[in-house]
A and B are shown apart, each in its own frame.
Chain A
Amino acid sequence: MIKTSGLAKTFKGGVEAVRSIDLTVEAGEIVGFLGPNGAGKTTTMRMLTTLLRPTAGTATIAGHDLVTDPQGVRRRIGYVSQGGGVGPSAPVGEEIELHARLYGMGAAEARERVAGTLERLGLTALAGRPGGALSGGQRRRFDLAFGLVHRPSLLFLDEPTTGLDPQSRANLWQHIRRLREEDGLTVFLSTHYLDEADTLADRLVVIDHGTVVAEGTPAELKGGAGTLDDAFLAITGRSLREDGEAAEPGSPPGRPHGEPGVPDGRADEVPAAGRTLTRSGAPGGRAAAAGKRGNR
């Protein structure tokens, strides 16, 4: 579904937001995309969704080349951006209907799809309101509706559950799992909630400083000891990410600046196992995830 090779983005002014990403996501997989603030997750997603032109590398998304056939890519994907896309003044129901129709649906079909999607996300009663009159979490749920309404075969979610209440979060997880089962939906989602990654994703990809630093099933990353949080901190270090860190050209990728060690005893218990892991079959991780948390 996704295959990238050496994908990179250097912004004007020299910020090397993404240095080189090699990524493979199979059809039907749910892949969690983790990394500290500023690691390059959003930039990678914006490249994969045709919003940013890569400065290097190639990618094939849903069978279409990212650079030569962006139109083909757009037809197959859905995207929920980190910042959302609900306008302040138009009734959201109208916006989502236009959104659906831009995917080629006729008026009746669009209305039906919109109604179904809003229903499943519990938004039907709010559709007449302008975006400005919604709560943050309600707006976030509409963002999800925009991403799902045309039933894409590949869905990009950039921190989809930030700001959602536990009910909506569980509802979204359930929704995503069902779409995967029913339609074989492939999902690529970033999150800072590692419990979410642990529960939902078959496989995790951790990036830092614009490159992939670890990848594997949640169980593999945890290496049998500690939580995913521990593993994450062991992989990416504990230092906070400062503004513009990624901007320094030539800084060594894959390791935070400054003290390389992890100044916390607990981290020692965790083998930095993830680093060396490569892609592996998903079933183990999936089973572990499914076993941990029952459906709501």
Chain B
Amino acid sequence: MNAVRDTWLVTRHNVRIALRQKAGIVFGVLQPLLYLALFGPLFATIGTWETLVPGLLAQVGLFSAGLSGIGIVFDARSGVLERLRVTPARRTALLLGRVLGSSLTVLIQSVILIAAGYAFGLRAPLPGVLAGLALMTLLGVGLAALSNAIALVMDPDAFAPIVSTAVIPLVLLSGAFLPMSMAPAWLDVISRLTPFRHVVEAIRDLFAGHYATWTVAAGVAVTAILAVVCVAVGTRVFNRENA
């Protein structure tokens, strides 16, 4: 009960901080918007907006949530983290509050992207869009927790370059830009081994209005497992960090 309250308090605090960083939100979503504007029309000659937008959502989510851990480095350096660790707040609440705060940023960015997609010609049913957003948010929670854990153990100066480089193959292998059905067999196999392929394809099904498919089930399962594992890892690292 206390842990829930603490999580809520820390989340609200982090949301306020996140909402104040308007530049961060806008620039985080600018890159996919550029893809939408400058690559979308090209893609539309061979595919549909309902295929492209879920891919760009995954791109936003992976970059935004993946890099969100950097904030904890600043808090560790400025002593904020240690100050909070001396309060009776559960340490899990301190971590989850941050993670939920950054997931909200991902959610806002996803909504902006989908709205822009509509302007270009995306026509996805509302239930499918909402389900897709829910899936993205869950993925964002997991990735943000993992990102915080990595940021705590990694050399802070190496964090941003290494993580943003590591995210690129994951985005490419997810088939975010071109569906993996077009890929040579070996690439297709590798792609299936990465989690985000399944998430992207599930969101594509949802955007197409196909809800009860194996693809959706697989995407939901992969996202849920990923979220649970990442949050568990994040909590462990966060709790262990200086006793």
Contacts and interface: CB of A to CB of B under 8 A. Distances in A.
B39 to A, nearest CB: 34
Contact of A87 (B20, B74, B88, B242): B74
A52 B242 contact: yes
Nearest to A132: B78
Given A87-B78, A94-B16, A103 B88 contact: yes
Interface in A51-69: 51-53
Given A52-B243, A98-B13, A86 B86 contact: no
Contact of B88 (A46, A49, A53, A102): A102
Nearest to B83: A85
A21 B17 CA distance: 41
A77 to B, nearest CB: 7
B9 interface: yes
A257 B173 CA distance: 60
Contacts of B82: 51, 81, 85
B78 A94 contact: no
A51 to B, nearest CB: 6
A33 interface: no
Given A71-B88, A75-B88, A99-B84, A131 B13 contact: no
Interface string A82-93: 011111111000
Contacts of A71: 88
B6 interface: yes
Contacts of B85: 50-51
Interface string A21-60: 0000000000000000000000000100111110000000
B65 interface: no
B89 interface: yes
Contact of B87 (A74, A90, A94): A74
A113 B65 CA distance: 36
A98 B93 CA distance: 13
A101 B9 contact: yes
Contacts of A83: 79
Given A50-B86, A87-B74, A81 B79 contact: yes
Interface string A188-227: 0000000000000000000000000000000000000000
B10 interface: yes
Interface of B: 2, 6, 9-10, 13, 16-17, 20, 74-75, 78-80, 82-89, 242-243
3 tightest A-B CB contacts, nearest first:
A85-B83, A53-B243, A85-B79
